[in-house]
Amino acid sequence: MTSITIETVSKSYGAMPVLKGLDIDIRDGEFVSFLGPSGCGKSTLLFCIAGIEAISAGRILFDGQDVSRLAPRDRNIALVFQDYALYPHMAVRDNLAFPLRQQKLGPDVVRRQVDWAAGLLGLEALLDRMPAELSGGQRQRVAVGRAIVRNPAALLMDEPLSNLDASLRVRTRTEIKRLQRELRTTVAFVTHDQEEAMVLSDRVAVMNAGVLQQFAEPMTIYRQPANLFVAGFIGSPQMNFLPGDGAPGGHGAGRLIGVRPFDLVPAGGGPGDGFALTGELALIEPAGPVHYLDVDVGGRMVKATCVDPSGLQPGAALTLTAPRHTLHLFDASSGLRLAS
Amino acid sequence: MSVSDDIGTPRGASIVRSPAALRKRDGRVGRVPLFAYAAVAPTLLIVLAVVGVPLAYSLYLSLHRTNPITKTFIYVGFDNYASLAGNADFAAALGRTAYFAAFSVAGTTVLGLAMALLLNERFFGRGVLRSMVLVPWAMAPVSVGVLWSFIYAGNFGALTGLLNDLGLGGWALPWLGDGFRALNLVALTNVWSQAPLTALMLLAGLQSMPGSLHKAAMLDGAGPVARFFAITLPWLKPNLLFISIIATINSLMAFDILWIMTRGGPGAATTVLSWLGYLTSFQFLRFGQGAAILYCLTALSFVLAIAYFAILGPRRSRPGARPVPPTVDGGVPGARTLAPMAVLPPPRVRPRLPRPVALGLARGGFAIAVLALVLWSALPVLALILMSLTPASDLIRTPATVVPSGLTLQNFQTVLMPSSSGGFSTSVQAQRVPLALINSIVVGACVSLVCIVLGTFAGYAFARHGRSRFFAVSLWGLLLTRMTPGLTLVLPFFIIYRGFGLIDTRTGLIIAYCSFLLPLSAWMMRSYFEGVPVSLDRAALIDGCSRVRMMWSVLLPVVRPGVIAAAIFCFLASWNEFLFALILTSTPNAQTIPVVISGFLSQAQFYEYGPMFAASVLSILPPVLVAFFFQRFLVQGALSGAVKG
């Protein structure tokens, strides 16, 4: 219900810059993830939006209005913390009611709204429990409930799933997506998990060292990474990078060729026109739907995939191919993507 | 121990039998190693012998009427207690004790909380201020008493002098002359010296609070005041419980500053129970009745501790909330009939001061608060140092002034080099200072050494086997000794020591101090060991260490900060101790520095203020150094619940 505009925002702790001139425009009702390795400034950016941290330069606008100098409580936003920050001495009901009571709403409204949030998140049976008596997943839901209960202009989430175990994490992220669709809230979501970011978001902002690397739809980021950092960070296992002059195809020195393991398969039967590499198969790693192949190509380990490893022998020579259109070309010095 | 130890047991049995049953069948499982018993044995035996026996003896005394001259004991049952019930002096002292304790507890809690909140903020010079704040608590109560009794002294005191200098001489009063005012001033002095302890423990609580709680409340729309009451105060509740108990016991047992400042007077205006017990026992020599009074005091502190627990103690979540139907974690609630969303009014727009104004006001207020704290903590101590450098004759000028006519080291010369200060008559008392300093150092060092060696082993055993009944019970037994006033013990000590020829020996003092500092060091080391993962013990044992080797090579290096903290606390407590040193020594041979300082007050030669202040400055030197160089170990000590008795 609010658009968030981040205009050349910088933030430094003393002489140490954390955010360097960020420009991000989050549309009304959009789900945006801030993705990056730890220490890249993504949580700091979120706290700046919330107003918990003051920005050193630039502006933050909500619906076109400058809120940079407003106190957190005057911004009408909610934040779900990584450790959930549930008030340990209050029952779930009081945790949910706390933001409403701070608005001096009548007990009637508070009760109705708490019931609404509890119903939405399936917390009805837990309302009288203390946070210490809840499981991790339940705490997470209470934290989300407390955030949405007063219908904030925007919902900010700081790695809210990182304390859950793997299977619960996948289920909960579906829940969050559904909730966001239902409430049509603007959401800014911080994560270091690329899969989480891709699945959830309308757009992903990839950050590194306080600088925005790319801000685009998830599949655009996957298919057309803007630079070497994004290419290496998105996609697991990591993209293979080969020097342009060493690789067949003559892409020239000063360039790097990037090819994702999923695009690189053993040759034979496939389209023969593509890019090819020959090396010695070092290791076969079964991973369920596919097998990963570690291939030693001229002293450089290259990762490839195959569905059926029968007939492959570690130690034997192996030729790998990838369709030409799946290759990514980067300038080796600037790291920027080159039109292929 | 844990489940992993059950590997050796037969499969079939482990399915049906409870772990307890298993433990009985198989000696290896869950058995407390002999090493653990050996580790606590010295501590328990010493405390039992040195505290348990005197405690029993004073109970025996309280049931008798005694005649110290003919050494006859007549069994009177509970007569000593019964006679207290109708005793007007006792009732009045009880009332004054209640007032004194209420004043002290309320004062230390409010002030300590304010200090802790200030010191929890980040600002330039916070570390120095933290150290500064600790000094009034780290210095000996005797020095505190000496300092404040001079500040309040009638015609020539520092407060009167300050008022004169400011041209407000008309406001000066005989501060300690009026009964009720004296009681309040002594209680205020007690607050001055005890509030830092409260601040230290609350600071530890504040630092353990996750930062996200306040951020969350801020975003939920709570202002600073609402956050303090809704978040900070409930978070500190467990700390406050502990602090109230400690502060109550400390103020019930307050004795040293009374001895120095008012000696129960004027009249009986500051005669609280501890002083009445002392008077009855040691001035009127009615040992039986005195012991009865002190036993009442002990009982009172027990009852209050239990009452605090009942009121402030941890509570299980509301009954009736349970049982809760189990919900599938994270399960998507299926077909839901959603309650409709309430219609919320638009968010309130708060009236706001312009940001620069608000920020300026906040900064200004904070600076004033910090300045007030600096003055409160440091000014009296600086005054003490100034007075020690003032010519002795300046200190008894009338009209009084705080501006010295000059600065001199004469006072220090008098007490440190008594023979060489030619021309200046050195009193007997001043000549005792050098030896007293040496005695204090020797006693403190020995006590610390004994306590950390025995306390570390005991603490280890308590931390690792606290759930075994023997250890749980003995740990509580040790804790209870901290609730008994030293006054209750000191008389039996005196009588027993006389039998063993330990009166007037440093050995005697060392044994006495170990008796109440061993439980403290064991308790501190226990909480430190609890922070050390058990896997470290197991790794050491698997790597082939014996238990002793494990302690020495693996655990001791890990817990070294805890050992240092315990050593510092024991040294400080023994350096500052007054009561036992007063009663158990009568000649300079073993007298410690607090006793010698108090002696200045008892002697006739009354213009010895200069040397007395010099001796006081020397006596606060180690505590001040500790506060400034080992501040973080003191915080460590407060975290583990150590307290000066």
> Using one digit for the tens of pLDDT, what is the confidence trace for B346-382?
766 666 777 778 888 888 999 999 999 999 988 888 8
> A45, A207 in Cβ contact below 8 A?
yes
Which of B212, B317, B338 lies at the smallest CB-CB distance from A130?
B317
Which of B338, B345, B350 lies at the smallest CB-CB distance from A120?
B338
> CB contact, 8 Å: B321 with chain A?
yes
Q: Which pLDDT score is estimated for A27?
A: 94
Interface contact flag, B338 A89, Cβ < 8 Å:
no
Interface contact flag, A72 B332, Cβ < 8 Å:
no
| E strand or H helix that includes residue A49 | helix A42-50
> Residue B392: pLDDT above 80?
no
Which residues numbered 345-364 in B keep a CB inside 8 Å of some CB on A? 345, 347-350, 352, 355
Using alpha carbons, list the distances in angstroms from residue A291 to A262, A266, A274, A312, B299.
10, 11, 21, 11, 75
Q: What is the mean pLDDT of residues B439-452?
A: 92
What is the pLDDT confidence band of residue B319, given thresholds at 50, 70 and 90?
very low
Q: Which pLDDT score is estimated for B606?
A: 57
Chain A hits for B237, CB-CB cut-off 8 Å, are: 89
> CB contact, 8 Å: B325 with chain A?
yes
**A-interface mutation test, from B329, B336, B337, B357, most A Cβ less than 10 A away:** B329
> A145, A33 in Cβ contact below 8 A?
no
Question: Tokens 């981040």 map to which residue?
Answer: A6
Count of residues making up chain B: 645
Q: Which pLDDT score is estimated for A183?
A: 87
**B-interface mutation test, from A100, A103, A149, most B Cβ less than 10 A away:** A103
Q: Which token pair is B518?
A: 């061993």
Interface contact flag, B324 A129, Cβ < 8 Å:
yes
> CB contact, 8 Å: B331 with chain A?
yes
Q: How far is A137 from chain B (nearest CA, A)?
A: 6
Q: What is the mean pLDDT of residues A296-307?
A: 90
Chain A hits for B213, CB-CB cut-off 8 Å, are: 85, 87-88
Burial class (CB in 10 A: 0-12, 13-18, 19+), A88: middle
Q: Which of B153, B607, B161, B170 is nearest to B399 (CA)?
A: B161
Which of A79, A87, A164 lies at the smallest CB-CB distance from B219?
A79
Q: Which pLDDT score is estimated for B23?
A: 45
d(Cα A190, Cα A160) in Å, to the nearest integer? 8
Q: How far is B124 from chain A (nearest CA, A)?
A: 14
Beginning with the edge strand found earlier in the chain, give each strand of the sheet holding A186-191 in spatial order: A77-80, A154-158, A186-191, A31-35, A203-208, A211-216
Q: Which residues of A266-302 are buried (b: 16+ CB within 10 A; e: fewer)?
A: bbeeeeeebbebebebeeeeeeeebbbbbbebeeeeb
Most confidently modeled range among B15-19, B299-303, B312-316, B331-335: B299-303
Which of A78, A85, A141 lies at the smallest CB-CB distance from B210?
A85
Which of B213, B219, B231 lies at the smallest CB-CB distance from A77?
B219
> CB contact, 8 Å: B310 with chain A?
no
> CB contact, 8 Å: B314 with chain A?
no
Question: Tokens 């804790």 map to which residue?
Answer: B479
Q: What is the mean pLDDT of residues A46-56?
A: 91
d(Cα B30, Cα B47) in Å, to the nearest integer? 28
d(Cα B307, Cα B322) in Å, to the nearest integer? 27
Question: Tokens 């050390």 map to which residue?
Answer: B532
For A85, the closest chain B residue by CA position comes to B213
Chain B hits for A165, CB-CB cut-off 8 Å, are: none
Interface contact flag, B234 A89, Cβ < 8 Å:
yes
For B316, the closest chain A residue by CA position comes to A130
d(Cα A297, Cα A280) in Å, to the nearest integer? 7
> Residue B7: pLDDT above 90?
no
Rounded to 5 degrees, φ, ψ at B602 are -85, -20
Interface contact flag, B212 A81, Cβ < 8 Å:
yes
> CB contact, 8 Å: A146 with chain B?
yes
d(Cα B247, Cα B259) in Å, to the nearest integer? 19
Q: How far is B339 from chain A (nearest CA, A)?
A: 5
Beta bridge mates, A4: A26, A62
Q: Which pLDDT score is estimated for B400?
A: 67
What is the pLDDT confidence band of residue A198, given thresholds at 50, 70 and 90?
very high
Q: Domains of chain A by range and CATH?
A: 4-224 (3.40.50.300), 237-338 (2.40.50.140)
> CB contact, 8 Å: A326 with chain B?
no
> CB contact, 8 Å: A87 with chain B?
yes
Interface contact flag, A113 B342, Cβ < 8 Å:
yes
> CB contact, 8 Å: A177 with chain B?
no
For B317, the closest chain A residue by CA position comes to A130
Q: Which pLDDT score is estimated for B322?
A: 45
> Residue B3: pLDDT above 60?
no
Q: What is the DSSP string of B473-490?
A: HHHHHHHHHTTS-HHHHH
Q: Which pLDDT score is estimated for B340?
A: 65
Q: State the sign of the Cα–Cα–Cα–Cα dihedral A113, A119, A120, A125.
A: positive
d(Cα A336, Cα A330) in Å, to the nearest integer? 5
> CB contact, 8 Å: B587 with chain A?
no
For A80, the closest chain B residue by CA position comes to B216
Q: What is the mean pLDDT of residues A123-142?
A: 91
> CB contact, 8 Å: A104 with chain B?
yes
| E strand or H helix that includes residue A295 | strand A291-297
What is the pLDDT confidence band of residue B1, given thresholds at 50, 70 and 90?
very low
For B224, the closest chain A residue by CA position comes to A73
Three-state SS at A23: strand
Three-state SS at A338: strand
> B607, B411 in Cβ contact below 8 A?
no
Interface contact flag, B347 A103, Cβ < 8 Å:
yes
Which residues numbered 466-525 in B keep a CB inside 8 Å of some CB on A? none
d(Cα B475, Cα B132) in Å, to the nearest integer? 34
> Residue A273: pLDDT above 70?
no
Q: Domains of chain B by range and CATH?
A: 32-56+77-86+427-644 (1.10.3720.10), 96-262+362-391 (1.10.3720.10)
> CB contact, 8 Å: A63 with chain B?
no
**A-interface mutation test, from B124, B208, B219, most A Cβ less than 10 A away:** B219
Chain B hits for A146, CB-CB cut-off 8 Å, are: 216, 220
Q: Which pLDDT score is estimated for B419?
A: 63
Q: Which of A78, A103, A170, A93 is nearest to B330 (CA)?
A: A170
Question: Tokens 């004062």 map to which residue?
Answer: B107
> Residue B424: pLDDT above 60?
no
Q: Which of B366, B364, B376 is nearest to B132 (CA)?
A: B376
Q: What is the DSSP string of B551-607?
A: IIIIIHHHTHHHHHHHHHHHHHHHHH--HHHHHH--STTT--HHHHHHHHHHSS-TT
For B343, the closest chain A residue by CA position comes to A109
Parallel, antiparallel, or unpaired for β A16-26 and A154-158? unpaired
Q: How far is B353 from chain A (nearest CA, A)?
A: 11
For B319, the closest chain A residue by CA position comes to A128
> B246, B308 in Cβ contact below 8 A?
no
Which residues numbered 201-260 in B keep a CB inside 8 Å of some CB on A? 210, 212-213, 215-223, 226, 230-231, 234-235, 237
| E strand or H helix that includes residue B67 | strand B64-67
> Residue B642: pLDDT above 80?
no
> A64, A141 in Cβ contact below 8 A?
no
Which of B219, B325, B343 lies at the smallest CB-CB distance from A78?
B219
d(Cα B157, Cα B147) in Å, to the nearest integer? 10
Q: What is the pLDDT of residues B29-38, one digit of tens each?
A: 457 778 888 8
From A185-194, A204-213, B100-109, B320-329, the region with the lowest mean pLDDT? B320-329
Chains A and B: how many Cβ contacts under 8 Å?
Answer: 145
What is the pLDDT confidence band of residue B331, given thresholds at 50, 70 and 90?
very low
Longest CA–CA span in chain A (Å) reads 76
> Residue B277: pLDDT above 90?
no
Q: How far is B639 from chain A (nearest CA, A)?
A: 20
Which residues neighbour B526 within 8 Å (Cβ) at sequence distance 6 or greater? B458, B459, B460, B462, B463, B466, B475, B640
> Residue B16: pLDDT above 50?
no
Q: What is the pLDDT of residues B425-436, one digit of tens each?
A: 566 777 788 888
Interface contact flag, A73 B339, Cβ < 8 Å:
no
Q: Which pLDDT score is estimated for B335?
A: 44
For A120, the closest chain B residue by CA position comes to B338
> Residue B512: pLDDT above 90?
no
> Residue B163: pLDDT above 70?
yes
Which of B320, B339, B350 lies at the smallest CB-CB distance from A119?
B339
d(Cα B76, Cα B64) in Å, to the nearest integer? 5
Q: What is the mean pLDDT of residues B282-306?
A: 82
Q: Which pLDDT score is estimated for B314?
A: 62
> Residue B414: pLDDT above 70?
yes
Which of A72, A87, A151 lies at the smallest CB-CB distance from B344?
A151
Q: What is the mean pLDDT of residues B396-425?
A: 68
Interface contact flag, B221 A99, Cβ < 8 Å:
yes
Share of chain B above pLDDT 70, in %: 83
Interface contact flag, A89 B235, Cβ < 8 Å:
yes
Q: Which pLDDT score is estimated for B71?
A: 67
